Amino acid sequence: MTRPGEHGIEVLLVHPRGATFKRPLFGIPKGLLEPDETAEAAARRETFEETGLRVRIRGPLGTVQQKSGKIVHGFWATVEPESLSAIDSLGRCTNPDSENDVCRFYPLTKAAELMIPAQREFLDRLPPDSRAA
Give the Cβ contact number of residue 109 at 10 Å: 12
Query: Which uninterrupted H or E stretch holds 9?
Result: strand 8-16
User: What integer pLDDT is reported at residue 132 of this predicted model?
Assistant: 58
Residue 108 structural domain: 2-131
Indicate left, alpha or beta for 73 from its phi (over 0: left) and psi (-120 to 50: alpha): beta
Block mean pLDDT (10 aa), the chain, length 133: 91 90 86 93 96 96 92 95 96 93 95 94 89 59
Count: domains in the chain: 1
User: What integer pLDDT is reported at residue 79 of this predicted model?
Assistant: 96
- pTM beyond cutoff 0.85: yes
- We report the CATH number of the domain holding residue 72 as 3.90.79.10
Evaluate whether 16 touches 29 at the Cβ level (below 8 Å): no
What share of the chain has pLDDT > 70, as a percent?
Answer: 98
User: What integer pLDDT is reported at residue 102 of this predicted model?
Assistant: 94
User: What integer pLDDT is reported at residue 36 of this predicted model?
Assistant: 94
User: What integer pLDDT is reported at residue 131 of this predicted model?
Assistant: 64
